[in-house]
């Protein structure tokens, strides 16, 4: 495994390995049924580089997107990062990665933006109920975006 940064011409960037990644993974199901990680995308905010790791054939013309890492290689870098950040990573992404790759044990600080958002907007349920009382969305508890935007309900377009 080569964890050095490379320019498109193949030359190595002489820089220390990044210690922070913002990441997301895509799987073939929810926690109870998944058995494959399709992709793992990690962004290093200090360098601006993005690692897009997948077993699929994928390339990018953007020199800041690295596409030649396997999911396993990216997981090693993620596991050894000082800080990892993502949305719902405590309840989904990390357990999903551990289900498929039991050796994956993050060593650094874990920042879950879902948890952060619940701390920042702790009254979001009250806000939502106020919106429902005002008539938006028209059908609370359902995917009702078209109706909430004043559009005809799905399937009623004519």
CA distances from 155 to 16, 91, 147, 158 (A): 55, 34, 11, 7
- pLDDT tens across 71-124, in order? 999 999 999 999 999 999 999 999 999 999 999 999 999 999 999 988 888 887
Exposed, middle or buried by CB within 10 Å (0-12, 13-18, 19+), for 44? buried
Q: pLDDT band at residue 140, thresholds of 50, 70 and 90?
A: very low
Burial of 141 (0-12, 13-18, 19+ CB in 10 A): exposed
Position 72 scores a pLDDT of 95
Phi-psi region of 70 (alpha: psi -120 to 50; beta: other; left: phi over 0): beta
Q: Tens digits of per-residue pLDDT, 39-73?
A: 999 999 988 899 999 988 888 888 889 888 999 99
pLDDT at 125 over 60: yes
């Amino acid at each position: 495994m080569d964890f050095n940064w490379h320019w498109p011409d193949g030359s190595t960037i002489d820089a220390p390995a990044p210690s922070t990644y913002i990441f997301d993974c895509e799987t073939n199901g929810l926690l109870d049924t998944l058995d494959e990680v399709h992709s793992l995308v990690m962004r290093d905010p200090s360098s601006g580089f993005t690692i897009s790791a997948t077993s699929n054939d994928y390339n990018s013309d953007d020199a800041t997107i690295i596409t030649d890492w396997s999911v396993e290689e990216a997981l090693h870098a993620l596991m050894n990062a000082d800080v990892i950040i993502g949305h719902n990573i405590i309840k989904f992404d990390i357990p999903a990665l551990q289900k498929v790759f039991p050796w994956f044990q993050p060593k650094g600080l874990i920042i879950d933006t879902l948890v952060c958002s619940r701390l920042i907007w702790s009254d979001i349920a009250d806000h939502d109920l106020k919106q429902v009382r005002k008539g938006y969305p028209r059908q609370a508890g359902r995917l009702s975006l078209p109706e909430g935007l004043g559009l005809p309900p799905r399937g009623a377009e004519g």
